[in-house]
Amino acid sequence: MSKEIKLTKIDENKLRKIGFTDYNEPYWYYCERLYGDITFNLTIPKNNPDKWYIDVLDENYLQPYDFKSIKTEYARKVEKRYNEVIEKLKSLEIFI
């Protein structure tokens, strides 16, 4: 979880319109492809929304993808898209 972003008040209808799901009932979940097979995954526990977290995953290896410590052009593209998704979620008033 990034210290510079905070979650806004949860609005169930708004989350659904944006593309969040709750197939796993106790959680709100949002997934977006960043680049190649790397995905952005936001999970918000319904009973404790302050404990939200973001995973950036390499779907090929089912492992976290630490784009901040990898010094490649590919990782920079992932980082760029990650920042775009964060900004999109801010513009949709999910994050402040």
Token pair belonging to 26:
């106790």
Token pair belonging to 12:
């169930």
Residue 38 placed within a domain: yes
Domain region containing 87:
12-91
Give the predicted TM-score (pTM) of the model.
0.91
Strand 38-45 and strand 53-58: the pairing is antiparallel
* Structural domains of the chain, count: 1
pLDDT in tens, 9-58: 889 999 999 999 999 999 999 999 999 999 999 999 999 999 999 999 99
Residue 7 placed within a domain: no
Token pair belonging to 72:
């490649």
Q: Give the total residue count for the chain.
A: 96
Residue 20 placed within a domain: yes
Residue 5 placed within a domain: no
Residue 81 placed within a domain: yes
